[in-house]
Amino acid sequence: MHYEHPDEILLLTSGVGALQSAFFGMYLFTLKRGRHITTLLLAFLLMAFSIRMMKSIGYYFAEGHAIPELIQNFGYGANLAILPLLWLYLNAFLNQDYKFQWKWDGIHLLPSIVVIVLSPVITSHFWMDQHGYTFSLLLMGAYLPFCFYVTQKRFRSINGAQQIWILCLVMGVTVVWAGYIANFIFHLVPYITAPVMFTFVVYFMTYLALQQGNIFRRESKNTIGTYSTAELERCYEKFQHVVEQRQLFKDPSLTLPKAAKQVVVSAHLLSASINKKSGQNFSDFINTYRINEAQRMLLKREYDHQKIAAIAFEVGFNSLSAFNASFKKITAKTPSEFRRKASVD
């Protein structure tokens, strides 16, 4: 006997995905050790997905597709939060210097908050007859290019396991969104398709999280072991090349985050690579380049009459005292002693 898409199997398959997403999200909320805005954003994302999926499942299997409007509106409100939360999570996960600011970042969640607050009064007429649902799907799709961009821009700054995690998350959310688009706008697939696809996505994410328990968390700034030797070497060599070619060390306002942007890596990865490969911190590493350049200038005849202070500022120091201290630390001589000895030789 042939059964085509038995409702029991579809209900079970889609339902376990929604529940798993809820359990995963609640687990992240309970974490105390190492909890960070990155973990919280992921928890909210999973909870929003769970509410959205439960609404979809309830709608699909309800008699006449009739569910209470309050539940319906909570589902649509959660839907409006999914892509903004994904974008915020990617920024927090991929950029170690990211700090969540309600004034700027919270505004992305405003449509979702408004719908949830107004859920007692919004009717299905707004969603279906006044194209509210269509607008919400297109609004969510507008975030996808930004999610792809931030992923592509900082993809090399994370290790291999984290790359798989981010790809799974971004592509999974994209596929689920595409499932809803394919159903509602193009009428190509059943409505239950997206919840079923989400089940496979969330269970694969759970598998990755169980395999490497810290994969979804922000990396500790004190930990070098997060990165492979090849990643550290690649980052270090790229940074050396950029520093030398663009003479970044001559910028007196150069900071670690600013330098990291030049090589399109996280500040954490850049700091770890410098520490590992040179045995120096970022400040000492850059000052070494500055002192080397100052030595080169002090050895040239055309700089014989130039004041040492002028050379200090030209190579990137903000003050003569800082230049003198760094010069003696690296060469064991003051700049004046170095110049005198060079002139004698």
Q: Mind listing the pLDDT tens digit for each residue in 131-188?
A: 999 999 999 999 999 999 999 988 877 767 788 899 999 999 999 999 999 999 999 9
Q: Which domains does the chain have, with CATH numbers?
A: 7-211 (1.20.1070.10), 229-344 (1.10.10.60)
Angle at 53 between CA 205 and CA 201, to 5 degrees: 20
Position 217 scores a pLDDT of 66
CA distance 335 to 309: 10
DSSP 89-136: HHHHHH-TT----TTTTGGGGHHHHHHHHTTTT--HIIIIIS-HHHHH
CA distance 281 to 277: 10
Q: Mind listing the pLDDT tens digit for each residue in 178-235?
A: 999 999 999 999 999 999 999 999 999 998 888 776 677 654 444 445 677 888 899 9
Sequence-distant (≥ 6) Cβ neighbours of residue 179 within 8 angstroms: 189, 193, 194, 197
CA distance 286 to 280: 9
CA distance 325 to 338: 13
Q: What is the CA radius of gyration of the chain?
A: 28
Position 218 scores a pLDDT of 52
Q: What is the DSSP letter of 253?
A: T
Tokens of 309: 């202070």
Do the beta carbons of residue 276 and residue 232 sit within 8 Å?
Answer: yes
Sequence-distant (≥ 6) Cβ neighbours of residue 247 within 8 angstroms: 293
Residue 292: how many other CB atoms lie within 10 Å: 14
Q: Mind listing the pLDDT tens digit for each residue in 40-98?
A: 999 999 999 999 999 999 999 998 888 999 999 999 999 999 999 999 999 998 886 77
Torsions phi, psi of 289, nearest 5?
-60, -40
Position 32 scores a pLDDT of 67
CA distance 321 to 318: 9
- pTM exceeding 0.85: no
CA distance 102 to 242: 35
